């Protein structure tokens, strides 16, 4: 089947957020599973010349004449391939001020111009696409709508109602709405999800080539979870760079929050001194919405922050840390937990979103599970989870066994690609 992924955001063009990366990582995993896979995204600029690296695109196609909401306009099209793959990427450059619906119309115009129209459109979040328009413009096309949160527009809610199949990245989004719970669950999208007979849960993976401590050039010593000598060297290097005491017996805790209203930073800063009292060394990793004001309560404490934009520093901090604290109140994708696990870091996480689907609490009696979880955003629960992790760290034999078991967990995209193949076939059969 010829599949076209449509997303406003596609990494690395204009966005490096988790959803934009997910679209760019999923499509290559579908090579060999689907007949052909294409990706269409929206350029973050209104002029081709304003792109930071236009040379990444193999060619500039003929402009499209698009019937927009306010009249016909010209959309420029850049064609390339996703890095390291044969997946064709089309980036649409729209004039300033055009609504999202014009992006969808331009994408349909592009799809009609291809030698062979796609048989399936996979819509990622808000794309401005009206299902009726898509079916009218592309005869026989099947529609799959991915939803990444309970918020969104009436048009996205219509997409949930009218798509052939609906995909969510975690079970929380597929669960029935709780009228007395989160106000976001009373949104049109949440109501559409609750009314849907069976949203399909497809948990996300990570790019195993991009996140590979055995080949990461930013690290002083390569390692994997079966051979941890290199991780010891990474911990020493991190302590030296961060100005932390060179102690092997003190776990390094990496705080990794997205920031914003649901980031959980207020919870952490409220009990920071109690966290440090557990004899933990703390480093803070950059988050997409973390503001300086969020971190002000940490000033003067024994905490080191990875500078924003320092990718090598981020990788060293991951490789040198023993624990990662993931306090976000929403974690629909859960990729940070997987990246940390890949680097031999044990998650201490809020039990929400994809964490609920992918992480299992450690059980010392059965030696199962590889994380320490807390349900409610309360300081005692967070500190209790950290305390459990700190006690296990003192038993390095049990700790190493847990890291080895964590390393055997499937963290790539192959499973998601196989699940989506089945979903696409069901959508096409309707």
For the chain, domain boundaries: 2-204+413-428, 229-407
Which residues, 6 or more positions from 99, have their beta carbon under 8 angstroms from its beta carbon? 69, 128
* Nearest Cα to Cα of residue 354 among 190, 171, 222: 171
What pLDDT score was predicted for residue 269? Answer: 87
What's residue 184's pLDDT? 54
The answer to whether the Cα torsion of 410, 413, 416, 422 is positive or negative is: negative
Cα of 163 vs its chain's centroid, Å: 23
Residue 320 has pLDDT above 60, yes or no: yes
Q: For 199, phi and psi rounded to 5 degrees?
A: -60, 140
Look at residues 352, 354, 361, 350 and name the one whose alpha carbon lies nearest to residue 334. Answer: 354
If we measure between CA atoms, which residue out of 95, 121, 96 comes closest to residue 107? 121
Q: For residue range 87-139, list pLDDT tens digits in order.
A: 999 999 999 989 999 999 999 999 999 989 999 999 999 999 999 999 999 99
Pairing of strands 372-374, 71-81: unpaired
- What stretches of 150-201 show up as alpha helix (H) in DSSP? 154-162, 171-174, 188-195
What is residue 367's predicted lDDT score, i.e. its pLDDT? 87
Taking the C-alpha atoms of residue 302 and residue 45, their distance in angstroms, rounded to an integer, is 41
Q: State mean pLDDT over 311-327.
A: 97
pLDDT category at 19 given cuts 50, 70, 90 is confident
How much is the average pLDDT of 298-307? Answer: 81
The CATH code belonging to domain 229-407 is: 3.40.50.2000
| Top-confidence residue, 320 or 58 | 320
Q: What is the pLDDT of residue 83?
A: 74
What are the tens digits of pLDDT across the range 147-198? 999 889 999 999 999 999 999 999 999 876 555 555 555 789 988 998 887 8
Q: Quick check: pTM over 0.85?
A: yes
Percent of the chain with pLDDT over 70: 92
Cβ 301 vs Cβ 272: under 8 Å: yes
Pairing of the two strands 71-81 and 59-68? antiparallel
pLDDT of 59 reads 84
Bridge-partner residues for 105, per DSSP?
A: none
User: What mean pLDDT comes out for the span 299-320?
Assistant: 90
Q: Give the burial class of 193: count Cβ atoms within 10 A of its Cβ; 0-12 exposed, 13-18 middle, 19 or more buried.
A: buried
Strand ranges, E, within 174-264: 200-201, 252-255
> Three-state DSSP class for 111?
helix
pLDDT of residue 194: 87
pLDDT of residue 262: 72
Contact between residue 34 and residue 424 where contact means Cβ atoms under 8 Å apart: yes
**What's the distance, CA 71 to chain centroid?**
36
Neighbour tally for 178: CB within 10 Å: 11
Q: CA torsion 197→120→110→70, rounded to 10°?
A: -20
pLDDT of 429 > 70? The answer is: yes
Neighbours of 41 (CB within 10 A): 26
Confidence of residue 419 (pLDDT cuts 50, 70, 90): very high
Provide the CATH number for the domain formed by 2-204+413-428 in this structure: 3.40.50.2000
* Alpha-carbon span 167 to 184, nearest angstrom: 19
Q: Could you tell me the strand order of the sheet in which 252-255 lies? A: 303-305, 281-284, 252-255, 323-326, 346-350, 372-374
pLDDT score of 361 more than 70: yes
pLDDT digits (tens, 9 = 90+) for 340-360: 999 999 999 999 999 999 999
Phi-psi region of 157 (alpha: psi -120 to 50; beta: other; left: phi over 0): alpha
What is the DSSP-derived secondary structure letter of residue 421?
Answer: H
Residue 296 has pLDDT above 80, yes or no: no
All residues at 6 or more sequence positions from 32 whose CB lies less than 8 Å from its CB, including other chains: none
| Residue 107 C-alpha from the chain's centroid | 24
Per CATH, 2-204+413-428 and 229-407 having the same topology is answered yes
């Amino acid at each position: 089947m010829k599949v076209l992924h449509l997303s406003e955001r596609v990494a690395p063009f204009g966005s490096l957020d988790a959803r934009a990366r997910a679209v760019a990582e999923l499509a290559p995993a579908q090579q060999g599973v689907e007949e052909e896979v294409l990706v269409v995204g929206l350029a973050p600029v209104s002029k081709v010349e304003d792109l930071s690296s236009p040379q990444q695109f193999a060619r500039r196609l003929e402009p499209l004449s698009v019937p927009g909401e306010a009249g016909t306009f010209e959309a420029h099209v850049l064609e390339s391939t996703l890095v390291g793959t044969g997946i064709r990427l089309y980036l649409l450059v729209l004039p300033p001020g055009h609504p999202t619906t014009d992006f969808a119309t331009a994408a349909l115009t592009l799809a009609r111009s291809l030698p062979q129209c796609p048989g399936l459109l996979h819509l990622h979040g808000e794309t401005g696409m009206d299902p009726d328009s898509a079916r009218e413009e592309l005869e026989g096309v099947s529609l799959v709508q991915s939803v990444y949160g309970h918020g969104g527009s009436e048009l996205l809610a219509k997409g949930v109602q009218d798509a052939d199949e609906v995909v969510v990245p975690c079970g929380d989004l597929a669960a029935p709405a709780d009228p007395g719970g989160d106000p976001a669950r009373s949104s049109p999208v949440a109501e559409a999800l609750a009314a849907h007979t069976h949203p399909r849960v497809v948990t996300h993976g990570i790019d195993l080539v991009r996140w590979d401590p055995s080949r990461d050039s930013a690290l002083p010593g390569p390692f994997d979870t079966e051979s941890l000598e290199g991780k010891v060297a990474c911990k020493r290097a991190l302590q030296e760079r961060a100005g932390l005491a060179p102690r092997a017996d003190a776990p390094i805790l990496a705080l990794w929050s997205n920031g914003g209203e649901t980031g959980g930073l207020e919870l952490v800063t409220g009990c920071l001194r109690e966290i440090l009292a557990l004899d933990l060394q703390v480093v803070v990793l950059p988050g997409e919405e973390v503001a300086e004001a969020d971190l002000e309560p940490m000033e003067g404490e024994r905490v080191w922050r990875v500078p924003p934009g320092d990718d090598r520093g981020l990788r060293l901090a991951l490789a040198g840390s023993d624990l990662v604290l993931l306090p976000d109140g929403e974690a629909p994708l859960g990729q940070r937990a997987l990246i940390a696990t890949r680097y031999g870091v044990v998650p201490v996480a809020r039990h929400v979103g994809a964490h609920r689907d992918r992480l299992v609490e450690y059980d010392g009696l059965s030696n199962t599970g590889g994380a320490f979880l807390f349900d409610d955003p309360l300081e005692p629960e967070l500190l209790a989870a950290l305390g459990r992790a700190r006690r296990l760290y003192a038993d390095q034999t049990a700790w190493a066994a847990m890291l080895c078991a964590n390393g055997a967990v499937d963290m790539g995209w192959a499973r998601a690609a196989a699940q989506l193949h089945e979903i696409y076939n069901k959508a096409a059969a309707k």
